[in-house]
């Protein structure tokens, strides 16, 4: 029994001792069988939410309507979800309502893919009702049951299929792929936020090429924000050689670079994808910086403006253009910058006010900005007297 599962063992045991069934289920079972690191241990049980809450001292209602109760132990927290079925999907997205049931089989039946529909009992035995083990062995991604019905019920599953291809390198079972091709337009019904989560994972997989290729070939991309016209660019993105993209901002930066988007296009596109303002700001800085870095070595001013983390992120992206990143050099260059922010400047706005007899106005920030750049670029020493002399000259020139 893997270590991560052992921690949750007392919870499963307690449920069983109280007369309920309890299993490890979902992504963690799949990933353990694939020898991959796991993030969260999901537990499924025949106990209803109120019954789970009665058994454990500390619980949090995280998704009680969906049957999920978080059980808090000293070491960790675990999501315990009641077996459930999801019935009458009306609009290709979420189920109308979930129904709690006592049967593991019913619960596994509503799961998306055979490799995600395995359960492991307290004894370590794998319960495999849909031949998920054989699909795991053969690296096949297959919908549970009739793929047409399953994607019709919840179209997000199509995006999930593509991101599993990208992460696991599995091939789509032919009928599962045909069903995605057939129903790709149902993605239009899914909220952008939900598609976004899966698309980011799709971009970041180790098998990005296979994942993005299926994304294009199934035509799912057509019903994702702003991508309709960009099938070819997506294929170029797919073909970029290099390791799995480590972070979300690097993924968007590469995508925007391959789509050859300018500042305004980036902002609009990422807004449509409902990305956070911070992410949009970062990517808007990283894209031009990458363009620059592909032609030039770093200079002080670009490094300073980007900041250490974004500069390292950009440098790493050289991999995807058959260039060797030199992260150590970026760290060193950054470390030797004369200042790291305007706060480090030896002359402040107040000093300008007291030394020059001008009314408060934009001249202050303009002057500080000029001083900042001169210091960062190494043209001026960061000393008050030096800066003041430069400011005097600068203002004289500007006021003429
Ligand atoms: P990850 O490793 O990225 O968390 P995961 O398979 O655990 O992958 P989750 O979104 O955490 O994905 O979902 C947990 C489990 O719930 C899945 O393994 C699957 O059994 C089931 N599941 C999740 N989303 C759906 C869906 N849209 N339709 C059917 N079953 C789903
Ligand atoms: Mg999970």
Q: How far is the CA of 26 from the centre of ligand 1 (A)?
A: 6
Rounded to the nearest 5 degrees, what angle is found at the Cα of 211, between the Cα atoms of 27 and 260?
130
Q: Is residue 247 part of a domain?
A: no
Residue 190 lies in a domain: yes
Q: What is residue 255's predicted lDDT score, i.e. its pLDDT?
A: 98
Cα of 281 from ligand 1 centre, angstroms: 31
Average pLDDT, the chain: 95
pLDDT of residue 86: 81
Nearest CA to ligand 1 atom 27: 157
Residue 116 Cα to ligand 1 midpoint, Å, equals: 7
Q: 162-201 burial, b for 16+ CB within 10 Å, e for fewer? A: bbbbbbbebbbbeebbebbeebbebbeebeeebbbebbbb
How confident is the model over 283-295, as pLDDT tens digits? Answer: 999 999 999 999 9
Give the atom of ligand 1 at the shortest distance from the alpha carbon of 28. Answer: 7
| DSSP states along 207-274 | THHHHHHHHHHTTGGGGSTT-TT-HHHHHHHHH--SSPP-SHHHHHHHHHHHTT--HHHHHHHHHHTT
Q: Is 150 in the pocket of ligand 1 (CB under 6 A)?
A: no
CB of 161 shorter than 6 A to ligand 1: no
Residues, CB within 5 angstroms of ligand 2 (ion) = 27
Ligand 1 geometric centre to CA of 41 (Å):
12
122 with 225, same domain: the answer is no
Identify the pLDDT of residue 64. Answer: 87
Mean pLDDT, rounded, for 265-291: 98
- Residue 364: CATH number of its domain: 1.10.246
- Does residue 274 sit within a domain? yes
Separation CA 262–CA 288 (nearest Å): 8
CA of 25 to the centre of ligand 1 (A): 10
| Residue 350 shares a structural domain with residue 329 | no
Give the ligand whose atoms come closest to the C-alpha of residue 159: 1
249, 279 contact by CB (below 8 A):
yes
Rounded Cα–Cα distance for residues 110 and 108 (Å): 6
Is residue 18 helix, strand or coil?
coil
Distance CA 387, CA 389 (A): 5
Instruction: Tell me: is residue 154 an annotated ligand-binding position.
Output: yes
360 in a known ligand binding site: no
Same domain, 7 and 80: yes
pLDDT of residue 91: 64
Read off the pLDDT of residues 190-224 as tens digits, 9 standing for 90 and up: 999 999 999 999 999 999 999 999 999 999 999 99
CA-nearest residue for atom 15, ligand 1, is: 26
CB of 205 within 6 A of ligand 1: the answer is no
pLDDT tier at 1 (50, 70, 90 boundaries)? confident
Q: How far apart are the first and last CA of the chain?
A: 79
103-120: pLDDT as tens digits: 999 999 999 999 999 999
Q: For residue 234, how many other CB atoms are within 10 A of its CB?
A: 20
Q: Identify whether residues 148 and 275 lie together within a single domain.
A: no
* Same domain, residue pair 146 and 128: no
**Is the Cβ atom of 167 under 6 angstroms away from ligand 1?**
no
Name the CA radius of gyration of the chain, rounded.
27
**Same domain assignment for residues 330 and 359:** no
Q: What's the pLDDT at 157?
A: 98
List Cα–Cα distances, 178 to 152, 181, 218, in angstroms: 13, 5, 8
Q: What is the CATH number of the domain that holds 144?
A: 1.10.110.30
Residue with the two structure tokens 């300018």: 262
**175 falls within a domain:** yes
Pick from 337, 355, 377: which residue ends a domain?
A: 337
pLDDT score recorded for residue 67 = 94
Residue 17 sits in the same domain as residue 88: yes
Residue 257 lies in a domain: no
Cα 27 to middle of ligand 1, angstroms: 6
Mean of pLDDT values over 161-183: 98
Distance 40 CA to ligand 2 centre (A): 6
CATH of the domain at 123: 3.30.460.10
Which of 102, 123, 138 corresponds to the end of one domain? 138
Last residue of a domain, one of 200, 221, 239: 239
Sequence-distant (≥ 6) Cβ neighbours of residue 254 within 8 angstroms: 203, 237, 240, 245, 317, 320
Q: Is residue 246 part of a domain?
A: no
Domain count, the chain: 4
Q: Known binder of ligand: residue 40?
A: yes
Which pLDDT belongs to residue 330? 98
**One domain for residues 1 and 134:** yes
Using 50, 70 and 90 to split pLDDT, how confident is the model at 94?
Answer: low
The angle at the Cα of 230, spanning 249 to 152, to the nearest 5 degrees, equals 90
Residue 27 marked ligand-binding: yes
pLDDT in tens, 339-385: 999 999 999 999 999 999 999 999 999 999 999 999 999 999 999 99
Q: Is there a domain that residue 299 lies in?
A: yes
Ligand 1 atom with minimal separation from the 27 CA: 7
Whether 248 is in the pocket of ligand 1, judged by its Cβ within 6 Å, is no
pLDDT band at 155 (very low <50, low <70, confident <90, very high): very high
Based on the fold, state whether residues 186 and 313 are members of the same structural domain.
no
Residue with tokens 């109760």: 69
CA 69 distance to own-chain centroid: 25
Question: Where in the sequence is the domain holding 187, given as residue range(s)?
Answer: 139-239
Q: Assess whether 172 and 57 both reside in one domain.
A: no
| Cβ 166 under 6 angstroms from ligand 1 | no
250 occurs within a structural domain:
no
Q: Is the CB of 81 under 6 A from ligand 1?
A: no
Look at residues 109, 139, 104, 130 and name the one whose alpha carbon lies nearest to residue 33. Answer: 139
112 lines ligand 1 (CB under 6 A): yes
Residue closest to 151 by CA, chosen among 194, 180, 181, 192 = 180
Q: Are residues 40 and 92 in the same domain?
A: yes
- Is 267 annotated as a binding-site member? no
The reply to whether 279 and 314 lie within a common domain is yes
């Amino acid at each position: 029994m893997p270590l991560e599962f052992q921690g949750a063992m007392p919870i499963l045991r307690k449920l069983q001792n109280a007369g309920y069934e309890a299993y490890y289920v979902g992504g963690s079972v799949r990933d353990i069988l694939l020898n991959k690191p796991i993030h969260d241990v999901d537990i499924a049980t025949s106990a209803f939410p109120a019954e789970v809450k009665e058994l454990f001292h500390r619980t949090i209602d995280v998704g009680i309507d969906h049957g999920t109760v978080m059980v808090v132990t000293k070491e960790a927290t675990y999501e315990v979800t009641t077996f459930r079925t999801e019935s009458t999907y009306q609009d290709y997205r979420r189920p109308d309502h979930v129904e709690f049931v006592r049967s593991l089989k019913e619960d596994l039946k509503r799961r998306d893919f055979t490799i995600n529909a395995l359960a492991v009992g307290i004894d370590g035995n794998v319960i495999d009702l849909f031949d998920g083990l054989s699909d795991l062995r053969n690296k096949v991604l297959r919908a549970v049951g009739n793929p047409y019905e399953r994607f019709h019920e919840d179209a997000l599953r199509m995006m999930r299929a593509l991101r599993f291809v990208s992460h696991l390198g599995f091939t789509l079972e032919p009928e599962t792929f045909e069903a995605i091709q057939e129903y790709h337009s149902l993605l239009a019904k899914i909220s952008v936020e939900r598609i976004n989560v899966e698309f980011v994972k799709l971009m970041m997989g180790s098998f990005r090429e296979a994942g993005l290729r299926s994304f294009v070939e199934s035509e799912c991309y057509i019903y994702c924000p702003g991508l309709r016209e960009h099938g070819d660019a997506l294929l170029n993105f797919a073909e970029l050689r290099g390791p799995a993209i480590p972070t979300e901002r690097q993924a968007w930066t590469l995508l925007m670079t391959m789509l050859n988007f300018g500042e305004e296009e980036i902002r609009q596109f990422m807004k449509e994808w409902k990305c956070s303002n911070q992410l949009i700001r970062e990517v808007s800085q990283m894209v031009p910086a990458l363009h620059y870095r592909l032609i030039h070595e770093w200079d002080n001013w670009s490094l300073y403006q980007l900041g250490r983390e974004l500069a390292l992120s950009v440098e790493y992206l050289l991999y995807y253009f058959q260039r060797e990143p030199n992260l150590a050099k970026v760290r060193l260059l950054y470390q030797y910058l004369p200042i790291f922010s305007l706060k480090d400047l030896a002359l402040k706005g107040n000093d300008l006010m007291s030394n020059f007899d001008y009314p408060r106005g934009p001249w202050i920030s303009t002057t500080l900005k000029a001083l900042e750049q001169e210091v960062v670029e190494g043209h001026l020493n960061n000393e008050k007297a030096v800066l003041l002399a430069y400011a005097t000259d600068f203002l004289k020139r500007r006021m003429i």
